[in-house]
Structure 1
Amino acid sequence: MAIQQLPIISFAQLDSEQERLRLRWAASEVGFFYLVDHGLSEHELAQVMNLSRRFFGLPAAQKAGVDMRYSPHFRGYNAVGQELTGGAMDVREQFDWMNEEPAPTEIRHDWQQVIGPNLWPAALPQLEHTLLALSERQTDIAVTLLRALCQSMGMDAHALDQSFRDSPYTHSKIIRYPGSAQSRQGVGAHKDPGYLTFVLQDQQSGLEVEHQGQWLDVEPMPGSFVVNIGELLELASDGFLQATNHRVRAPQPGTERYSVAYFMAAQLDATVPVLDLPEPLKAQSKGVSTDPNNPLLSHVGENVLKGRVRSHPDAGKAA
């Protein structure tokens, strides 16, 4: 039966079996849900959103100074038109950051290109501390949520821990969608490549999720993260958990939309394990999706690099 609203999952109640069963249903049947009671206050999230607006309000020359084309590690600013989804231009500008770490002294594998320092705008020095602190707290939430998902499927809570034993790969971005009369593609339909994605929305709707062949509008819910299952988690659960197509429609002219996206995956040198689920859940599995235009690779670093080069061809050439 088609749903009218995404399920709502309470992070604070995940120690209860009942809430974990609700989580399992949401992750396997919809692939998307609202996460509430996660410990980050509405005030803290509003501060992040306000700082995001300040960044996008900087003069174009200052934003261009941290353009992703200056980073061989796919970090930094993208103006409208610099990212593609499904081969078509997305109508959004954004600023990407990942784990803050030095670049390898020796590149032995192509995927090591994504390891390195972030670019930070000198005109807004508080951006670095605020955004790194946000992604660190979101990682704690994501790890706990991932363990609850494992428990919900009858597995040990730590069944996937080995795949991020040193540190999970994380990638985040602040995003501005300007109003557009020419294109409705804020972001084209796609699935996310990692384990879990969190999205913080402002008051402007636009995110849509495909469910049973129809597009469901994901209305903003103050204080919540919109969480979705990524392709690596679909792979790890052998298709029981579902990565779901979603898109963002560009706002109407004269309006704009802001959001903050966080992506969590296994560490880059890991190969995602396939969990041996209980037989009743195996029988319910829809199978792992296949797309000849976007093959899913079990090696995390290779899968990440593939996605970055496809979405950011200019930065890919620089790398």
Structure 2
Amino acid sequence: MAERFAEVKLNESAGRETLSALRTALETYGFFYVDPGSMFPRQLQLALLEMMRAFFSTERSAKQARIASVVRNGFTRGYIGFGAESGSWRTEVKEAFSYGFEWSDEDRRQPCEHKLQGPNCWPQESVGVDVRAMRVLCTEVYDCCIRTAQQVAKLVAECVGLPREHFDEHLVGGELISLMRLFHYVAYSDADEALIGSSPHTDWGFLTLILPSETDYSGLEVYFENEWIPVPQKPGSLIVNCGDFLSLSLNGAVQSPLHRVVLPEHGQDRYSAVFFFYPGYDAQFTASRKQGYSLFEDQRAVDAREADSRDISGHHESFGQFIARKWTQVGR
């Protein structure tokens, strides 16, 4: 199945054939692979996965007691309990740890500029892993994701015939509000329709990086031509999918794909590290026609995916203002 989706190596200059394949993947699926090479070493990715397994093996009650959780006005940091978020009416069988840009001690003493800025919520004491080591590792991973995503944005611009710097103005300050989320999906029975790994949705931001796990099974599926198609992992490569903002900024020329996460029938838990790369808080977008993006749907509704999107013609608002309200819809 991997041949469905193009792959780009960031350590190499993308030739005409690679750019053409990438454009086809963006227009058709909205998914592709990126080999980050030295920009995001595989050893660092594996170290994060090892840390995640140790962290999530701790009792949930211990994580809740030792890690602060801040969820307000679209700002989410810290431990997210089992089933505490969902993109639909279903219960999503996962727990998570959410963090973002790591501010300096001096910056943390200053007032935040807007709702999506604020300090991370690290454990107050050991939760299966050394707290300082976790903080250092997670911060290094975040920085690698930012650099990788910024380079991918230039490739996307190039493959659709735009200057490589086309998106730069949209992305100013995006590193300050982007999110890294570490997920632990718990095995569940497919017979229970009220449970799911991750509900069908499109991502709201610019693009998303999904780190490969140590297993062959990704659980990620994209909806294409009325069927769910698996998006397999490729060792050493990140899975990239386009977000709503990117698709809107190109007038729908690239897909913001509807996707979901399902778990294997044999009941294996799943660990996943997902980086949501956002444009800057003040980035503007305008929707001129009816859209089917999750960005414009009320994800609390039972039939959110089936209902027609509301007409948001002529909508003008900053991305940050809009996304702050969106986050209030996924809390449960």
Verify the 8 A CA contact 2:247 2:253 in the aligned structure 1.
yes
Contact 2:183 2:273 in 1 (8 A): yes
Pick the aligned partner of 2:297 from 290, 293, 305: 293
Aligned to 2:212: 201
Q: 1:165 to 1:273 in 2, by over 3 A?
A: farther
Between 246-255 and 29-38, the greater mean CA deviation after superposition: 246-255
SS of alignment partner, residue 148 of structure 1: helix
- Tell me by how many angstroms 1:212 deviates: 1.8
Mapped contact 1:173–1:260 kept (Cα < 8 A): yes
Q: Secondary structure at the match of 1:65?
A: helix
Cα distance change of structure 1 residues 100 and 75 upon mapping to structure 2, 3 Å threshold? same
TM-score (norm 2): 0.80
The equivalent position to 2:168 in structure 1, one of 149, 152, 161, is 161
Q: Deviations over 1:206-250 (max 9, x none)?
A: 111112221111222211111000000001101101100000013
Task: Give runs of aligned pairs for residues 34-45 of structure 1, distance below 5 A.
Answer: 34-39=33-38, 40-45=40-45
- CA gap of 1:28–1:63, structure 2 versus 1, over 3 A, is same
1:304 to 323, 327, 330: 323
Partner secondary structure for residue 216 of structure 1: strand
1:114 offset after TM fit, Å? 2.3
The answer for the alignment partner of 1:33 in structure 2 is 32
Instruction: Quote the residue 1:172 is aligned against.
Output: 180
Aligned with 1:12: secondary structure? Answer: coil
Alpha-carbon offset, residue 3 of structure 1: 8.7
Identify the residue that residue 65 of structure 2 maps to in structure 1: 65
Residue equivalent to 2:17: 18
Residue identity (%): 22
Cα distance in 2 for partners of 1:94, 1:46 equals: 18
TM-score normalized by the length of structure 1: 0.83
Unpaired segments ≥5 residues, structure 1: 275-286, 314-319
- Cα distance change on mapping 1:245 and 1:66 into 2, 3 Å: farther
Paired residues, number:
296
Shift of 1:99: 1.7
Q: What residue in structure 1 maps to residue 303 of structure 2?
A: none
Q: Secondary structure at the match of 2:111?
A: coil
Q: CA deviation at 1:179?
A: 1.0
- SS across alignment from 1:114: coil
Inter-partner Cα distance in structure 2 for 1:251 and 1:8? 25
Q: Distance in 1 between matches of 2:66 and 2:181?
A: 14
Distance in 1, matches of 2:117 and 2:166, equals 26
Whole-Å Cα distance in 2 between the matches of residues 288 and 11 of structure 1?
35
- Equivalent residue, structure 2, for 1:7: 6
Q: Specify the code of the residue in structure 2 equivalent to 1:33.
A: F
Residues 181-217 of structure 1 show CA distances to partners (whole Å, capped at 9, x for unaligned) of 2455100100000111011132133111112221111
Unmatched 5+ residue regions in structure 2? 299-309
Q: 1:117 aligns to what? A: 119
Q: Is this contact kept in 1: 2:96–2:181, CA < 8 A? A: yes
For 1:162-311, list aligned pairs within 5 A.
162-168=169-175, 169-181=177-189, 182=192, 185-202=196-213, 203=215, 204-252=217-265, 254-272=267-285, 289-290=291-292, 293-294=297-298, 299-311=318-330
Q: Quote the RMSD (CA, aligned, Å).
A: 2.6
**How far has the Cα of 1:147 moved from its partner?**
1.1
Aligned to 2:118, the other structure's residue is in SS state coil
CA distance in 1, matches of 2:170, 2:121: 27
Residue of structure 1 in register with 2:111 after alignment: 105
